[in-house]
Amino acid sequence: MLAIIHATLVLTDRLQPESFVTAENGVITGFGAMKDCPDLSGAEVYDAKGLFVGPGLVDIHCHAGCGIWFYEDPEKAAAALLKNGTTTVLPTLYFSMTKDELVENFAVIKAAMHTGKTPNVAGFYTEAPYMNPKLGCDRESNPWKGPVRREDYMPVLEAAGEDAKVWVVAPERENIEEFVKDAKKINPSVRFAVGHSEATPCEIEALMPYGLCIGTHHTNATGTLPKYPECRGVCVDECVWYHDEIYAEIISDRMGIHVDPYMQRLVRKIKGDDRVILISDACVFDGPVPETGDYEGATDILFDWAGEIAGSKLLLLQAAKNFSKHTGAEMPEIFKMASKNPADATGFTDRGEIKTGKRADLIVIDGEYELKQVVFEGKLIEA
Ligand SMILES: [Zn+2]
């Protein structure tokens, strides 16, 4: 048994100081006030000395771990993230990859997953194949800009198999419904996200019965549709706001460049603390910082060689801290957005909160979101 004592527990609705949490066989077996702590003889004891203990972080949209693309070295990428508090991650392959590359890269990551080398990897969140090439997706050189065709996409769906947890789609692509139906046949519990898209609400709503429930990097590459001159139209973000069941992913960098701090507060207000998902969108692009645009100090975001913003080098814990600064959200809410909400949205209801019976993935942090200790499946991991 592992016991963490003298902890300030971060529960979904409150902070609970001077508490304990116990774990055995990988799951949480109890928690409560120190005065009710069970006999700990024989247990491994970690004294949190008043620090905050929350659920391990769940990053559902992450291309790389600490500067390593998942498809290049899944084991190293996953280990780097685990050390930094990301106890569940969905590696993300993306739109620039051809059919053969996607098939091969899925195989590389699956080989690591299914031999126990990447225990915190829980499946795939894929930003491919059918995005809208106009919206941050390689435009003319996008390998998937042609028609949506079974013979092209089936090998990709089959390569991901049941490990596919989320497919991002641009609902405006012709015949996308066929792709969505086939993806569901392979994994009936798969979810869909709308991203790199300028779909109308109507086009998005058509896919909701199949399980579209996430807005990919909300307000980034989500299009605008001015219907009449001088009149604001409605597009992807407005549809995400409208539907309570759709989660909004936010990349919260330090300067608020991906999503302006005011917009982060607005999205939080509209969607509520149960429907915001913090993501890292971590990548390894190395384009130069463009001279135009006010990017001074934005050291945690990345650019491609076309000078466009291309993901981040954030860890999810840093994004969590940034979001708390930008919006004033407190720790219980922040942990929902970085752990419970992403777990719920992707079907991992066995984790994401401190509750008896949930997976014993925990992190210990101080009040500034500095990581002190990681617990993975009930075991202390060196941070
Ligand atoms: Zn993207």
Q: What is the mean pLDDT of each run of 10 residues along the chain (383 residues)?
A: 98 98 98 97 97 98 96 98 98 97 98 98 98 91 96 98 98 98 98 97 98 97 85 94 98 95 98 98 88 82 84 95 98 98 98 98 98 98 78
User: From the CA of 370, how far away is ligand 1's center (Å)?
Assistant: 27
The answer to whether residues 251 and 291 belong to one domain is: yes
40 and 81 inside one domain: no
Domain of 128 in residue numbering reads as 57-350
Cα of 260 vs centre of ligand 1, distance in Å, is 17
Give residue 383's pLDDT: 64
The reply to whether 224 and 104 lie within a common domain is yes
Q: Are residue 39 and residue 67 in the same domain, yes or no?
A: no
- Find the 114 Cα to ligand 1 centroid distance in Å: 26
User: What is the phi-psi region of residue 61: left when phi exceeds 0, alpha when psi lies from -120 to 50, beta otherwise?
Assistant: beta
> Is residue 328 domain-shared with residue 216, that is, in the same domain?
yes
CA of 373 to the centre of ligand 1 (A): 30
Asked whether residue 63 is assigned to any structural domain, the reply reads yes
- Tell whether 65 and 6 lie within a shared domain: no
**Do 206 and 319 belong to one domain?**
yes
> How far, in Å, is the centroid of ligand 1 from the Cα of 310?
8
Contact 361, 377 (CB under 8 A): yes
- Any residues with CB less than 8 A from the CB of 337 and at least 6 apart, and which? 250, 273, 276, 277, 278, 320, 323, 329
* Structural domain contains residue 357: no
Q: Are residues 62 and 103 in the same domain?
A: yes
Residue 300 located in a structural domain:
yes
Task: Report how far ligand 1's centroid is from the alpha carbon of 92 (Å).
Answer: 9
- 125 and 35 inside one domain: no
Q: What b/e sequence results for 174-202 when a residue is b if at least 16 CB atoms lie within 10 Å of its CB, and e otherwise?
A: eebeebbeebbeebeebbbbbbbbbbbbe
| Domain assignment of residue 359, yes or no | no
- Give distance in angstroms: CA of 84 to centre of ligand 1: 22
312 sits in which H/E element: strand 309-312
Total tally of structural domains belonging to the chain:
2
Residues 251 and 377 in one domain: no
CA of 50 to the centre of ligand 1 (A): 38
The answer to the question of residue 356 being in a domain is no
Tell me the two tokens of residue 225: 């549709």
* Distance from residue 36's CA to the centre of ligand 1 (Å): 47
In a domain, 222, yes or no: yes
Q: Determine the Cα–Cα distance for residues 364 and 56; give it in Å rounded to an integer.
A: 9
- Of 317, 316, 305, 302, the residue nearest 258 (C-alpha): 302
pLDDT at 97: 96
Does this model's pTM top 0.85?
yes
Q: Ligand 1 centroid vs 141 CA: distance in angstroms?
A: 16
CA of 107 to the centre of ligand 1 (A): 22
Q: How far is CA 300 from CA 97, 220, 286, 315, in A?
A: 24, 16, 12, 9
Cα 168 to ligand 1 centroid, rounded to whole Å? 9
If you measure from the C-alpha of residue 252 to the centroid of ligand 1, how many angstroms do you get, rounded to a whole number? Answer: 14
Query: Considering only CA atoms, which of 181, 170, 177, 281 is closest in space to residue 235?
Result: 170
Contact 71, 111 (CB under 8 A): no
Structure tokens at 93: 């392959």
Residue 127 Cα to ligand 1 midpoint, Å, equals: 6
Q: Are residues 16 and 88 in the same domain?
A: no
Flag whether 335 is in a domain: yes
CATH number of the domain encompassing residue 126:
3.20.20.140
Give the domain CATH number at 21.
2.30.40.10
- 129 in a structural domain: yes
Ligand 1 center to residue 221 CA distance, Å?
7
Residue 196 CA, ligand 1 centroid: distance in Å = 6
Mark whether 42 and 85 lie in a shared domain: no
Structure tokens at 275: 């429907």
Ligand 1 centroid distance, CA of 136 (Å): 7
Asked if 166 and 60 count as a contact pair (C-beta separation under 8 A), the reply is yes
